[in-house]
Structure 1
Amino acid sequence: MTGTGDDGFDTAHWPVEIRLKSEEKRLEVDFDNGRRFSYPAEFLRVVSPSAEVQGHDPSQRQTVPGRRHVGIMRLEPVGNYAVRIVFDDMHDTGIFSWRYLYEIGENQESLWAQYLAELQAKGFSRDPPRRG
């Protein structure tokens, strides 16, 4: 099924089921072509399509540390082309289009490896800073 979403972009694959697994801190999405992706909340948070994370061009992209334990509080539909994910660290500005979710699902392994390498190179940790 191919269509044009509210964002004006051709979207090749549409979700047929979206499951928020709050206890597991995970989002699962089944697409109409049979592909199923399981996204840890931490992964979604650090690849958020928000300007806060991605910047306004690739040179402004931020490496977000300390999100190992982040969870998802809720999902909010955005038209018929995306979902806003509200994380428990109060980040809620990323609108995840179906196209973007599919893309990051297909590339999850390499995106995660890139994120871990960036953390290490910058001396950051997946763990939140210790208080006290």
Structure 2
Amino acid sequence: MKAAAPWPSDIRLKRKERILEVDFDDGTKFRLPAELLRVESPSAEVQGHGTGQKKTVPGKANVAITTVEPVGNYALRIVFDDGHDTGLYTWETLHRLGTDSDKIWTDYITALEREGLSRE
């Protein structure tokens, strides 16, 4: 039997810091920057419609989160100040982004450099 996925016990939007704080019932706590959430959006616009179609999203160093809306009891819809609002961030996605944030960030910076793009 598969263990239950971690469930959020608290979610806080820190607008001035551009951070989404998420605490999970397994004891993990993450501070997820708006930029990371935006460039890793689970939307088709960013991830594509199939394997190997992910897009590198430049120019999001100063993106902010406008609102965070619950979607059922399984996800959040995050609205960014650049108008992006189509990604549904499941609890599993948020936990993975927190757990793997160092590698995800390094891969993102590498992709920007490889494609001649900038965070600014």
TM-score band, normalised by shorter chain: over 0.9
Where do 4+ consecutive residues of structure 1 move more than 2 Å? Answer: none
Distance 1:74 1:35 in 2: 23
Give TM-score, length-normalised by structure 1.
Answer: 0.87
Q: How does 1:53-92 map to 2 (within 5 A)?
A: 53-92=46-85
Distance 2:24 2:54 in 1: 28
Give TM-score, length-normalised by structure 2.
Answer: 0.96
Gaps of 5+ in 1: 4-9, 128-132
Q: How does 1:113-124 map to 2 (within 5 A)?
A: 113-124=106-117
Q: How does 1:91-110 map to 2 (within 5 A)?
A: 91-110=84-103
Q: Flag the 1:54–1:11 CA change in 2: closer, same or farther, 3 A.
A: farther
Distance 2:52 2:112 in 1: 16
Opposite residue 13 of structure 2, the aligned amino acid is: L
Q: Sequence identity of aligned pairs in percent?
A: 54
Opposite residue 57 of structure 2, the aligned amino acid is: V
Give the aligned partner of residue 6 of structure 1.
none
Opposite residue 32 of structure 2, the aligned amino acid is: Y
Opposite residue 108 of structure 2, the aligned amino acid is: Y
Gaps of 5+ in 2: none
Q: How does 1:24-35 map to 2 (within 5 A)?
A: 24-35=17-28
Structure possessing the higher radius of gyration over alpha carbons: 1
Deviations 1:57-95 (A, max 9, x none): 122110000000000000011000000000000000000
